Structure 1
Amino acid sequence: MKIKTSLIILLLFSYTFFAQKKDTIAVNKLSEVVVTGQFKPQSIKKSVFNVRLISSQDIQNLAANNLSDVLNQYLNITVKPSGNDGRSTVSMFGLDAQYFKILVDNVPLVNEAGLGNNTDLSQINLNDIEQIEIIEGSMGVTHGANAVSGVLNIITKTSSKYKWGISATLQEETVGKEYSLFDKGRHVQALKVSHNFDNNWFVSIGANRNDFQGFLDNKKGKDYAENDGLRGYTWLPKEQLNTTALVSYRKNNFSVFYKFEYLDEDVDYYDSAVQSGYNTTLGSYRYANDKRYLTNRYFHHLNSAGKLFSKLNYNLSFSDQKQERDVEAFRYYLSTQTESNNIKIKDQSMDVLYSTGTLSNFFPDSKVDLQLGYEFVNNLGFSLVQEANNIFVPITKRIQNYDFFVSSEIKATERFSIRPGIRFSVQSMFKNQYASSLGLRYLFDKGVELRGSMGKSFRTPTFQELYSKLIFDGHFFTGNENLIPETSTSYEMSIKKETIKASGFQLYNMLMGSYLDVNDRIDMALVGFNEDTGNPEYQYINISKYKMWNISSVNQFKKNNLTINFGASIIGVSQKIENQIFSSDDKFLYSFNLNSSVSYNIPSWKTIFSAYYKHNGKSQQFIEGTSEYLISEVDSSNWLDASVRKNFLNNKLEATIGARNLFDIKNVNQTKTAGGAGHASSGEVLMAYGRSYFLKLTYNLNL
């Protein structure tokens, strides 16, 4: 009943806006330009795909530290933080980060466990971002494997209108109620210098340090010596250093740039168990077995775009990336606050050679365009896996794919465009895969745009699903080298309307529906019992099915200096999960989500007031119990951020003050949580570290 009521509200809200008077007037308006999935940069209105934008101004207003701060506000996306290893990943439509691809300038970003997928959002620096583009639904033709639920493309700045640009940033932020200048809170410093040598050459260098001192909450920190489970942190301390460098050249229709990025991240883990020991030197002492996660990422990207034979448009990218995570284990003596027995080992790494390229503009007739493209991936993965008797064994495997795709854009009329495409992927480890898509766009009168698409895509098994092993004390969970890629089919349809009136009033509305069907979904399942011990043995196999439908509405109102955004969505998810003994019900489980933002600009004050709100509705999922699959419910939550941004000294100094998570959310109740060997219990889902306040100062010197 609640879902039906929510659906009626959503549809009535959208209908109210779409049914307005049609007395619009022609207004010259600078179109938003997008590049994701396009043959060339073009206005968002001309795109056959439904592209959503997150502007650099939104990022500034949020004073976001990393990508997770931004995506927390995005409809249909859930950020999933982990207090155990400090990672934050993304879930869209109930599908985790393995189905959603993150790109930087059209190149998938590496992490220690994959390429483009399962990316840690907290490791993505926001300093040089021009805008963020998101396309929901299957993008397998243009972006290959694992672009099932959507893609996010971070577009970085490769030019400047100033000869010299110097930007220095200092940001101080509380972590919940915890803050001090050095030992608590978050401390961010950034510096960027750019220079135009002439009309063609541009260079920039930058560095960003993000020092997160962790969140204690009810914990007592690393020097707490009692063995009562209170030692350590609820959120682990983390320090990141990002450095970037860019060299670009532009002349006429030719451009080339080289970009380098280096990430160094240290995450400190403090064991809650305090142990006792004795030796003749120290006498009685207390210690804990702690560890550090040490991550390094190197990112090289060379891109060239221009014309061949004065006619064909080409765009080529070559990338060499590596991310490696080491684990340093050591004994920490609490009385002397010293370390010993430090042992550092490589835990995971991914080394990738990547290249993609397109060729388009084959026909002089502007009504038809053809794009040919390729993508080559050479991926060398490494992981330590835990065998029986607590023995760790290194696994190194090389996975390659060679993809070729063709896409066409046909303007059947001035109003109607068709975008068919197909991709063929030669896989080194699996059967060759295919992806296909068909996009349609029709422009009606009075600013109404209708879009529809169908896409078939695939997801290849991850390194963990193929090779992981966890065997100890009666637990047996392993990967499976015989897994096959998952396949999916998606359908999307959207209708947009833009209303612009002589008074300066602007209204933008969109109603969108989508459906996704995933087959051969990979899941952990019972495959047998050990002959000697009788313990159950679990393994990843292709066994599950997944279906999702979604209806969402996005609306924007602008009048003079006021901008209001409102969005709502209903998501229904059906999963058929089996463990070889019993199966889940495949009925649809629903969730209802809202988001909204308000921004008001006072030019005479050089001040912008902003607020961002998101409601994550109650969600349900099946988890494995002892004799059946049980429905687990996660309670709803509300998130509100607010900020004031003001410029001083002829716009050279920019100050932003604000608060995140004003509703003070930390954990959300979950009625049942999955335990080991099919056990289920109630618990809480880690969401955030409570209400926090920030002050950000940026000095810009542009000459």
Structure 2
Amino acid sequence: MKKSITSLLIIVSNYLVFSQEVNMDSLGVTKLSEVVVTAQIEPQSLKKSVHNVKVISAQDIANLGANNLGDILNQYINITVRPSSNSGKSTVSMFGLDAGYFKILVDNVPLVNESGLGNNTDLSQINLNDIEQIEIIEGSMGVTHGANAVTGILNIITKKSTKEKWSIVATIQEETVGKEFSLFAKGRHIQNLKISHNITDNWFVSIGSNRNDFRGFLGEKKGKNHTINDGTRGYSWLPKEQWQNNMLLSYKKNDFRVFYKFEWFDEVINFYGSAAQSGYNSQYGSYKYGDDQRFYSTRFYHHLNAVGKLFSQLNYNISLSHQYQKREVEDFRYNISDDVELNNTKQKDQSMEVYYSTGTLSNFFKNKKVDFQLGYETIKNSGFAIVDEENNQKKEVSKSIDNIDFFAISEIQLTDSFSIRPGVRYSFQSLFENQYAISLGNRLLLPKKYEIRASIGKSYRTPTFTELYSQIIFDGHYFVGNENLIPETSTSYEASIKKQIDLTPEIDLKTNFMMSYLNVDDRITSALTGFEGATPIYEYINISKFKSINFALSNAIQSENWKLSLGGSLTGISREIENLEFSSDDKFLYNFNLNSSLSYTLPKEGTTFSIYYKFTGKTQQYLLTTDGYVLSEIEPYSWLDASIRKLFYKNRIELTIGARNLLNINNVNQSNLNQGAGHAVSSQVLLAYGRSYFFKLTYNLNF
């Protein structure tokens, strides 16, 4: 593979906003508004926020031509998107910790999935067509968002209004998958329709539907109809089809606002066995077949939110949510010769039902220099799974994981330029010892447009359903969960300095330097705990430790028609992994990332040119082998996306064409370094399916 590019100019374009201030995040994107709501006592500007908040707007998403959340976060400097060709899912890793430590919310409510509530979220299951903006906060957010918000949170704020009486938006998008495309059989095909209506000055309703049909990626495979038993039947990336349907009803009058939102998500993933075998029966005679599966995932999401005032002063914000998610597996024999499915059996193998509520009460004091917020969060989480037992037996497990949390936050403006924000949360747990989180944030505004922020936070991560109850038992293998696990605890420190420089009356430069440190204790690891005869038993236990240190610098220059951004980060990670037989080295391993963007707008033509670049440096980690932990290296790689966005016919028609992964990344090498023998064994990590092109057409009818 060619050497990774370490710097690159990028052409990006966003619409001009003449009447508002403009803010740029690490992607170099235009902010239509400085107001942020995530983890704030009340909505306020970015400058006034004690937290460092990164904002991605709906216009930014449109410029990228993104079809899922992974396309967006793939450009974010401290986030690594981890796609899986086997499951078709994509998750995030931040500061070297997986998606179990990073929380994703929709309108401040965590989203249920088969691996948890708000964590391990599949990015491909997030609907982008209903997003107003995305807000990201790095660091410990345990006080405001509870368990598992260790490395940060991402809050998706959805659209809840429209300026017009009626708004109808219809979109089609066609995208190649690598070099593979045909109108129906290959590639990706997306259709979206949303209808919004202001019934009266107070009532608003919208309904929407989105279909994302991914026909899979063959690569070196030969598809489901391949009949030669050479191990090449099936797909390198599994085909899947997603439907997302939603409805919103809202009411507002004076200080009172309420909305109800419903979403139904349905996904089907097709797996085709690699072996093409021979069979015979009286009906079909001799035939070729494969042992195949389908995975059905369904999610129902209800959210009721009310915002208003009590006693003409106190502000309240209450959300109630019911969510249900299940996964079903269908096994069948596919008769390739006669295009017939045989011996179909279908069963539910996993589900999760959540009753969730959170609420806050604030504005206790008339003195605007002091703000105080009281809040609560309740979760009743009922999980179900089928696990493997010995002798190929199956066992059903049904358990509940509940908690009731209370938290308090105060924001005190000691002077016009200096504010502090202490906070505390206490969590009453049904399965574990009660937990707590604390935090202290500071913001200092200095002359010449300097902003300094610093914070310290203590948080926790509770064990997942898999870590507690999973069982994978068969000949020679014994991997089990542990109901006696305790929550992991963590402490984080963060400091940043931001500076704005007005280079000319039309051009300004914003630069931000941030550093952070995170320490995780009692980290859960699958470890060797004994033997069943000659079979080793691996069980999840609290034994490992984790530390990370991060330095990040971002710069953004902007004029009326163009923008340039450049950012870099250096992250050091120390993993002390033990499994009672071996332990890894705890030295810090460093990784460097770089991203850049350059944008240019032609306002008269209504045209936007966009390119985004990200460099991911060499990644090192310790992997367990039969001889102990060995150092593994994943080679560096670069990612480049580009698009052109054009408006026609009084901005009613929007055309976007572009390309993803222009540098044609497929596999990257991973070497396991045998330090004692002085040689390396290499393998490959399937990262992407190569360069792809897309065409997106949107029609906006407003009246």
1:104-144 alpha-carbon deviations (Å, 9 max, x no partner): 00000000221000000000000110110000010000000
CA distance in 2, matches of 1:681, 1:210: 39
1:319-342 alpha-carbon deviations (Å, 9 max, x no partner): 000111101110101101110111
> 1:366: which partner in 2?
368
| 3-state SS, counterpart of residue 124 of structure 2 | helix
Counterpart of 2:126 (choices 108, 114, 124) is 124
TM-score by length of 1: 0.94
Amino acid at match of 2:549: W
CA distance in 2, matches of 1:628, 1:346: 38
> 2:241: which partner in 1?
239
Amino acid at match of 2:456: M
Counterpart of 2:399 (choices 397, 400, 415) is 397
> 1:610: which partner in 2?
610
* 1:49 positional shift: 0.5
Counterpart of 1:352 (choices 351, 354, 358) is 354
* 1:31 positional shift: 5.2
Where does 1:18-97 land on structure 2 (aligned, <5 Å)? 32-97=34-99
1:554-574 alpha-carbon deviations (Å, 9 max, x no partner): 111101210112110000000
**Conserved 8 A contact 1:623-1:673:** no
**Conserved 8 A contact 1:378-1:398:** yes
Counterpart of 1:101 (choices 100, 103, 113) is 103
Where does 1:187-202 land on structure 2 (aligned, <5 Å)? 187-202=189-204
> 1:557: which partner in 2?
557
CA distance in 1, matches of 2:394, 2:688: 33
- Relative to structure 1, the CA distance from residue 38 to residue 274 in structure 2 (aligned partners, 3 Å threshold; closer, same or farther) is same
CA distance in 1, matches of 2:480, 2:275: 28
> 1:20: which partner in 2?
none
CA distance in 2, matches of 1:511, 1:450: 10
**Conserved 8 A contact 1:31-1:44:** no
Is 1:471 the counterpart of 2:485? The answer is no
Counterpart of 2:345 (choices 343, 351, 360) is 343
More displaced stretch, 511-520 vs 501-510: 501-510
* 1:39 positional shift: 0.6
CA distance in 1, matches of 2:299, 2:582: 43
**Conserved 8 A contact 2:21-2:34:** no
Amino acid at match of 1:228: D
> 2:26: which partner in 1?
none
> Highest relative contact order (Cα 8 Å, sep 6+), 1 or 2?
2
* 1:280 positional shift: 3.2
CA distance in 2, matches of 1:119, 1:686: 20
> 1:156: which partner in 2?
158
| 3-state SS, counterpart of residue 604 of structure 1 | coil
> 1:3: which partner in 2?
none
* 1:501 positional shift: 5.2
Backbone CA RMSD of aligned residues = 1.4
More displaced stretch, 597-606 vs 103-112: 597-606
Amino acid at match of 1:630: V
Counterpart of 1:258 (choices 249, 257, 260) is 260
Is 1:698 the counterpart of 2:698? The answer is yes
Is 1:580 the counterpart of 2:598? The answer is no
> 1:648: which partner in 2?
648
> 2:12: which partner in 1?
none
TM-score by length of 2: 0.94
1:450-499 alpha-carbon deviations (Å, 9 max, x no partner): 00000000000000000000011210000000000000000000111122
More displaced stretch, 388-397 vs 163-172: 388-397
- Relative to structure 1, the CA distance from residue 160 to residue 610 in structure 2 (aligned partners, 3 Å threshold; closer, same or farther) is same
More displaced stretch, 491-500 vs 377-386: 491-500
> 1:15: which partner in 2?
none
CA distance in 1, matches of 2:169, 2:33: 28
> 2:687: which partner in 1?
687
* 1:503 positional shift: 2.5
> 1:660: which partner in 2?
660
* 1:229 positional shift: 0.9
1:349-407 alpha-carbon deviations (Å, 9 max, x no partner): 11000000000000110111110000000000011111111212111101100000001
CA distance in 2, matches of 1:141, 1:202: 33
> 2:300: which partner in 1?
298
> 1:638: which partner in 2?
638
| 3-state SS, counterpart of residue 262 of structure 1 | strand
Moved over 4 A (4+): 27-31
- Relative to structure 1, the CA distance from residue 298 to residue 31 in structure 2 (aligned partners, 3 Å threshold; closer, same or farther) is closer
CA distance in 2, matches of 1:495, 1:162: 41
**Conserved 8 A contact 1:673-1:683:** no
CA distance in 2, matches of 1:112, 1:279: 38
* 1:673 positional shift: 10
> 1:316: which partner in 2?
318
CA distance in 2, matches of 1:28, 1:346: 52
CA distance in 2, matches of 1:634, 1:379: 37
| 3-state SS, counterpart of residue 273 of structure 2 | coil
CA distance in 2, matches of 1:536, 1:259: 49
> 1:425: which partner in 2?
427
CA distance in 1, matches of 2:349, 2:690: 32
> 2:211: which partner in 1?
209
1:91-113 alpha-carbon deviations (Å, 9 max, x no partner): 11110010000000000000022
More displaced stretch, 361-370 vs 491-500: 491-500
CA distance in 1, matches of 2:489, 2:233: 45
* 1:214 positional shift: 0.3
Residue-pair matches, total: 672
* 1:28 positional shift: 6.6
Amino acid at match of 1:45: K
Counterpart of 2:483 (choices 481, 484, 502) is 481
| 3-state SS, counterpart of residue 83 of structure 1 | coil
CA distance in 1, matches of 2:620, 2:504: 47
* 1:681 positional shift: 5.6
> 1:273: which partner in 2?
275
Amino acid at match of 1:625: T
* 1:85 positional shift: 1.3
> 5+ residue gaps in structure 1?
1-5, 10-26, 675-679
| 3-state SS, counterpart of residue 604 of structure 2 | helix
**Conserved 8 A contact 1:228-1:273:** yes
> 2:589: which partner in 1?
589
> 5+ residue gaps in structure 2?
1-5, 8-19, 23-31, 675-679
**Conserved 8 A contact 2:630-2:673:** no
Where does 1:665-684 land on structure 2 (aligned, <5 Å)? 665-672=665-672, 682-684=682-684
Q: Percent identity?
A: 64
CA distance in 1, matches of 2:66, 2:439: 35
Amino acid at match of 2:403: N
**Conserved 8 A contact 2:501-2:510:** yes
Amino acid at match of 2:702: N
More displaced stretch, 82-91 vs 277-286: 277-286
* 1:58 positional shift: 1.2
* 1:278 positional shift: 2.3
- Relative to structure 1, the CA distance from residue 315 to residue 64 in structure 2 (aligned partners, 3 Å threshold; closer, same or farther) is same
**Conserved 8 A contact 1:113-1:349:** no
CA distance in 1, matches of 2:470, 2:456: 34
| 3-state SS, counterpart of residue 214 of structure 1 | coil
Where does 1:379-458 land on structure 2 (aligned, <5 Å)? 379-458=381-460
Is 1:542 the counterpart of 2:542? The answer is yes
**Conserved 8 A contact 1:377-1:400:** yes
